[in-house]
Chains A and B, each alone.
Chain A
Amino acid sequence: MRIGTARQDYITDEALFDTTTQRVWMAVFLAVLVAYPFVANDYWLYLACLVAIHVASATGLNILTGYTGLVSLGQAAFMGLGAYTVAVLETRYGTPFLFNLFAGGVVAMVGGIIVGVPSLRVKGLYLAIATIAASFIAHFLFVNLGFTGGTGGLSVPPATVFGLALDTSFRIYWLIMPVTILMVLGAANLFRTRVGRAFIAIRDRDISAEVLGIPLLRYKLLSFALSSFYAGVAGGLWAYFFRVVTPESFPLLLSIFFLAAIIVGGMGSILGAILGAIFMTMVPEVLRLVVGWLPIEGDTLQYVAPVRTIVFGLLIILFLIFEPHGLAEVWRRIRRFFHLWPFRT
């Protein structure tokens, strides 16, 4: 706890940002996000949008796995459900994009509730295996349902606002980033409520939680529902961003990517999901840039490409060994250092 932040009522105690410093930094961060599209080129804007989509989905998985303790490998499938819902609504009915995104979330939520039913009987790795089924079932549906475009998938028209097509990274940024911020804020607020605390109680000891009066059936399924709603909306954003949805767009590997993101970032922490998604998306790109700056002459691409992959893998392993609590803990340690400076922790 920081010096000089004694809380004198529950409202202060539950506040998302408890000091003026935090609020100022958050305002600066938001200002940077607003200014970012005006200074960044297309490449960096693309990456920002991709990171934001990954943050939204990783935050959803963190609600389920990090906060409720239910390991899921179905996140990509739920994203697929959201993406296909958006694609079908947009191509067939031309409904407004906000409605489509919400519908994408709802369809994924229904999928999540169905897939979450086994969580009442199995936990841990067993549940993870059970959720893998979601990927295969979703893939089968995407290929074989008549309106999903078969193996070729669907091309998605751009989202439009008052006739303006959000067809560039600059324009779509103004859809993706605010939606992601709202979703992250929603998740952060969730854990200030009874529902969020019930999730944490289930994670820490489900039997004790039930003894305390938390109905496991309702809350576990609610966690699945919320998590898959996030995935569905993220999938919808993905559909508007890439403008093509195919059955192969959401492989099992993507679910593993999100699981890795919340582990590397720090499970059970909103900041962890954000940092994890940024790390997993950006490190390969940063390594690409670093490699580009190296003074190596000649055709090095074929030697450098595998090295980049190896370094990325090593970085993940090193993080897990030296900081099992994830990047969020590293961030907290850095903050503590500056809070107490010049004294040491």
Chain B
Amino acid sequence: MNRKLSLSGLVRRLVLPMSLAAVAASGAALAQSKEDIVIGGSIPMSGVFAFAGVGIHAGMGDYVKMLNDAGGIEGRKVRYVPEDTAYKVDVSVAAFKKITSQNNVNLYYGDSTGFSKTINPELERAGNILMTGASFATEINDPEKFPSQFLVGPDYTEMFGILLNYIAKEKPGAKVAFVFSDSEFGRDPIDESRALAKSLGLTVATEIMTPAGSVDVSTEVLKLRRANPDYTIFHGYILAPIPEFISQGKQMGLKSRYMGTFWTMDNSTVMRMGEDADGFMGVMPFRYYYDDAKDAPMLDKIRAMRPEYQSTAYTQGFLAAMLLTEAAKRTLAAGKELTGVNMKAALNSIENFDTGGLIGVPITIKGNSLPVGRIYRADYSQKKMVPASDWIVLD
């Protein structure tokens, strides 16, 4: 048994297996590099936010399909793996854990501010995922605290900023009222917007907080009437109690113009107000589905895929998938690994990016948000939101 180890034996026993192992490893690395790029999604397909979740899901699915039909990213297919969350944070986290346990996830879409905040430490620890979501919370718009996340649009304070800039331009020195829900969502932009209004020479005539989705708001309408604002900005609601405010306000002879923010501003939501919708205004960072502007070829493609009306939540999901994959594409093109930090840096390298006309101006992503939007006004005779301003880009 005491055999001498010859050179050829050494080669056979050590070098050859090592070479084979190296070849196998490089093969594995090659296979790894050709792995699918996975977009996970905690999507609220049921529960109170399902009205948006269905659209977001369709938008993300459509963009991924479109991208794969065009060859994917650097020859790699993009795979979209969604799970329903019922808009509950614990279920969203469970969905995240399930998806990330079963897939090598690179990109993720979260369904709420609560989820974005809860999963943030996990994203930082894992360091391999870039995330966006349905949240426009001002708190998320902080690259220091949320280095692996971004918002697909302006944050709520920036939405107020766009509205207030428009008001200051249209009617300098105007009186504005803030009506918001007693929730994290509702209170989000109020403090900063109060200061901004003052700096723009506007007067905040009153601030009214109501329970989210409240129905009886007669006391609050009286308060609004006493303040008699030129503009009333609603925030933190989807629809109720906005129609009640407008209808009772009109009965009391209020001449205020009424405005809303993103989640109220879908065409179908505004038109549900009936005739009271006419003249309702608000901020929208995306073009509406039916916008036939010449510089919006992506909307033509969407209309070709889906002939029926698609909500602004659809556009948000579609654009989210576009920006997430654009970040991955730029990272791979730079020969870098798909880590959260690299992809975020790639995302922040986006300058004058053409979204195919989904947003009416080329976009530049400096921090965690896209501070751009346009004021739209409801034209009830056409049952459409129509542009009331040019695109407004905040500094």
Contact = CB atoms under 8 A, between A and B. Distances in A.
B46 A43 contact: no
B301 to A, nearest CB: 18
Nearest to B83: A288
B97 A243 contact: no
B183 A246 contact: no
Interface stretch (A118-126, A301-309, A336-344): A301-309
Contact of B46 (A152, A247, A306): A306
Interface in A22-77: 41-47, 50
A301 B45 contact: yes
Highest count of chain A CB atoms <10 Å: which of B54, B94, B183: B94
A65 B137 CA distance: 39
Given A302-B54, A308-B46, A43 B94 contact: yes
Contact of A50 (B50, B94, B114): B94
Given A248-B183, A248-B184, A288-B84, A243 B118 contact: yes
A285 B45 contact: no
Highest count of chain B CB atoms <10 Å: which of A150, A304, A306: A306
B82 A246 contact: no
B139 interface: yes
B76 interface: no
Chain A interface size band reads 35 or more
Chain B interface size band reads 35 or more
Interface stretch (B17-25, B29-37, B85-93, B238-246): B85-93
A305 B45 contact: yes
Nearest to B90: A50
Main secondary structure on chain B at its contact with chain A?
helix
B188 A151 contact: yes
Highest count of chain A CB atoms <10 Å: which of B98, B101, B114: B98
Nearest to A238: B90
Nearest to B125: A167
Nearest to A169: B97
A41 B101 contact: yes
B101 A151 contact: no
A147 interface: no
Contacts of A169: 97
Interface of B: 43, 45-47, 50, 54, 57-58, 61, 82-84, 86, 89-91, 93-94, 97-98, 100-102, 114, 117-118, 120-121, 125, 139, 182-184, 187-188
Given A301-B45, A305-B84, 20 more contacts: A42-B100, A43-B102, A46-B93, A50-B94, A151-B188, A153-B117, A168-B125, A242-B89, A242-B118, A243-B118, A244-B118, A244-B120, A246-B184, A248-B184, A285-B94, A288-B84, A301-B43, A305-B45, A305-B46, A305-B50
Give me the 4 closest cross-chain CB pairs, A-B, nearest first.
Answer: A305-B45, A305-B84, A43-B97, A151-B184
